[in-house]
Amino acid sequence: MAAPIPIALVQSNEDFARYFVEALRPEFEVVHVCLSAEAAVAELGIPTPLCPPHEFPAGGNALVPPPWRKAPRAVVVGLDIEPGTEDAIEAAIQPETADVPVVRAPGRDADDIRDVLRRFVADGTITVE
């Protein structure tokens, strides 16, 4: 089995965030959760000198310990986050991580999100190491 693809999740409802962390496994691994668009801009949008190219800094919500951290290959924005904030999040992480798409969740079902992520992997929008 291939290694899970790391993603970040922007989801203000902590119960939904926990649900998605578990429900997207084993194919996708939520490695970072931001509970607001503002947190996503602050935590995902600031490259640091210690990060390799295309790597996000570790904010307080990084879910994986430092030695095993992976940069998210996509950022999924939950339905409870104000529409249009994808642009602000994308602007904060571009151009340093131009190959990391920011996508709006199509629904509250993990299967719907998984399907969108799978399409992005298949067409090369999400790069897999």
Structure tokens at 108: 């509250």
d(C-alpha 25, C-alpha 121), whole Å? 16
In a domain, 56, yes or no: yes
Question: For residue 9, is pLDDT > 70?
Answer: yes
For 49-105, how does the pLDDT look when each residue is reduced to its tens digit (9 = 90+)? Answer: 334 444 444 444 556 666 666 778 889 998 888 888 888 888 877 655 567 888 898
- Among residues 110, 98, 92, which one has the least CA distance to residue 73? 98
User: Can you give the CATH number for the domain in which 44 is found?
Assistant: 3.40.50.2300
d(C-alpha 67, C-alpha 115), whole Å? 30
pLDDT at site 3: 85
In a domain, 13, yes or no: yes
pLDDT at site 48: 43
Structural domain that includes position 59:
5-122
In a domain, 34, yes or no: yes
Q: What is the mean pLDDT of residues 3-19?
A: 89
Domain total in the chain: 1
In 11-54 the beta strands, taken as DSSP E runs, fall at: 28-34
pLDDT at site 52: 46
In a domain, 128, yes or no: no
In a domain, 90, yes or no: yes
Supply the pTM of this predicted model: 0.82
In a domain, 70, yes or no: yes
- Among residues 52, 66, 57, 77, which one has the least CA distance to residue 129? 52
In a domain, 109, yes or no: yes
For 100-129, how does the pLDDT look when each residue is reduced to its tens digit (9 = 90+)? Answer: 888 898 888 899 999 999 999 999 888 776
In a domain, 127, yes or no: no
Report residue 39's pLDDT band, with 50, 70 and 90 as the boundaries. Answer: confident
